[in-house]
Amino acid sequence: MMSAPTDRSFADRLDAEDPLRALRSEFQLPLDKSGNAKLYFCGHSLGLQPLRAKQLVVEELDAWARQGVDAHFESTRPWVSYHERLTPMLATLTGAHQSEVVAMNSLTVNLQLLLTTFYRPTRERYKILIEHGAFPSDRYAVASQLQMHGFDPAKSLLEIAPHEGESHVRMADMEALIEREGDSIALVLLPGVQYLTGQCFDMEHCTRIAQRRGCYVGLDLAHAIGNVPLALHDWNADFAVWCSYKYLNGGPGAIGGAFIHERHERTQLPRLAGWWGHDKDSRFSMPQHFAALPGAEGWQLSNPPILAMAPLLASLELFERASMPALRTKSLRLTGYLMQLLQARLQGRMTLLTPTEDDAHGAQVSLRLNSVEIGASLRQRLSEAAIVCDWRGADLLRVAPVPSYNTFVEVWKLIDALVEMTA
């Protein structure tokens, strides 16, 4: 890794040359007690509010007040088809056809729905493979599915782990495990970006090697969508799920989404059905027999929450304006700069857990303190300095310079503060 100049003036120059610098003004920046913008590096946990989000929510509240139930069909943005406004950009961000994606529910609800469809165990093929240290909700979901089918998670849940003393899963190990256990694996569920380490998995390769052995493949894109390039259709993933409150800036508890590859349209897969997944032409005739909509929309259950979708629409408009390729280019520059400053100024005090290769990480950089004892005081001092990061345990610090609203100077200020606070 080449070293960058460590003086503040270099960061100033990078910001001046940033073609996306104006995008920051489209977000509500959290303020400290003096009214100054905090250093916010927590977009991997909750993205910032787009300024237009409040306006769109108020517009829907006004439509409700003025029109009542008629707003479903007669408002400026009719509620019946509101979720369809999100579809084109979600398709772009996931590298999917529009028929393959839908905004609905929350991540774990969508995961359970699609596990119900795609986890079809037999006596010979019944195991589920996940990564060791998976986000707990994913682990709970797959363990509950195993139990509902009569299998013991202790014996039927496989986990791929890093080598002793390492923090990244090796793709060679993944391939070897799938080759060894493939005949007994029904489903592989992997993250796009691992929530703790920030490792970006080679999703295309994992999908290919698992499907070669007859396994279904699902992806949890909570930390990947809006963060790293995705090509779900071309990668041939069977399904994917995501939330929208991290890099998609949809707000706390924002509506999630799902992808189902179009090739499954012909297979009539079983599903848990709800009326919003029923054919639109006869939905309001209230038929007794379910007729699924084509594509991912056919997995919908209930009519979607309009007030929860409005902030996401505001954010997706900004993604469309900026473009994901441009955001990814800036993201790599931000994280590259952060990693270079870490190496130059904090070597020996913190260990970088996130891979340094461009295609092996997103915006999140995970750091482990070499001295656990300073963890509590460092957390307090960062808070007092109005620097918002994220802790896991006493010694693991996660920071995410998000290209939509973070700057190179903010990265410099973060490292400068860490140098002083860990001296």
Tell me the longest C-alpha to C-alpha distance in the chain.
Answer: 70
- Cα separation of 360 and 348, whole Å? 23
- DSSP structural state of residue 400: B
Q: Does residue 1 surpass a pLDDT of 60?
A: no
Q: Which of 287, 302, 320 is the last residue of a domain?
A: 320
Are 276 and 335 contained in the same domain? no
CATH number, position 348: 3.90.1150.10
- DSSP structural state of residue 173: H
Q: Does residue 27 surpass a pLDDT of 70?
A: yes
Residue type, 179: E
Q: Does residue 114 surpass a pLDDT of 90?
A: yes
Mean pLDDT calculated for residue range 90-96: 98
Nearest C-alpha neighbor of 231 from the set 87, 95, 90: 95
* Residue reference for tokens 């100049």: 5
Are 310 and 337 contained in the same domain? no
Percent of the chain whose pLDDT exceeds 90: 94
Cα separation of the two ends of the chain: 24
What confidence tier does 160 reach under pLDDT thresholds 50, 70, 90? Answer: very high
What confidence tier does 375 reach under pLDDT thresholds 50, 70, 90? Answer: confident
What confidence tier does 264 reach under pLDDT thresholds 50, 70, 90? Answer: very high
Token pair, residue 251, equals 């707000």
- What is the reported pLDDT for 373? 79
Cβ-Cβ contacts under 8 Å for 332 (sequence gap 6 or more)? 358
Q: Does residue 2 surpass a pLDDT of 80?
A: no
* Residue reference for tokens 């998995």: 201
What confidence tier does 151 reach under pLDDT thresholds 50, 70, 90? Answer: very high
Radius of gyration for the alpha carbons in the chain, expressed in angstroms and rounded: 22
What confidence tier does 205 reach under pLDDT thresholds 50, 70, 90? Answer: very high
What confidence tier does 376 reach under pLDDT thresholds 50, 70, 90? Answer: confident
Are 307 and 343 contained in the same domain? no
Are 249 and 398 contained in the same domain? no
Element (H, E) at 58: helix 51-67
Mean pLDDT calculated for residue range 223-230: 98
Domain-located, residue 41: no
Q: Which of 320, 335, 368 is the last residue of a domain?
A: 320
Nearest C-alpha neighbor of 224 from the set 116, 137, 324, 342: 324
Domain-located, residue 178: yes
CATH number, position 78: 3.40.640.10
- Return the SS3 of 191: strand
Strands of the sheet containing 239-242, edge to edge, are 101-103, 257-260, 239-242, 216-220, 185-191, 127-131, 157-160
What confidence tier does 265 reach under pLDDT thresholds 50, 70, 90? Answer: confident
Domain-located, residue 189: yes
How many domains in the chain? 2
Which pTM was predicted? 0.96
Are 140 and 167 contained in the same domain? yes
The more confidently predicted of residues 226 and 1 is 226
Mean pLDDT calculated for residue range 356-378: 91
Q: How high does pLDDT run on average in the chain?
A: 96
> What distance lies between CA 161 and its chain's CA centroid?
21
- What is the reported pLDDT for 393? 85
Angle at 251 between CA 236 and CA 394, to 5 degrees: 90
Mean pLDDT calculated for residue range 306-311: 98
What confidence tier does 394 reach under pLDDT thresholds 50, 70, 90? Answer: confident
Mean pLDDT calculated for residue range 218-230: 98
Nearest C-alpha neighbor of 133 from the set 409, 413, 392: 392
Cβ-Cβ contacts under 8 Å for 411 (sequence gap 6 or more)? 11, 334, 337, 338, 341, 401
- What is the reported pLDDT for 423? 83
Q: Does residue 372 surpass a pLDDT of 90?
A: no
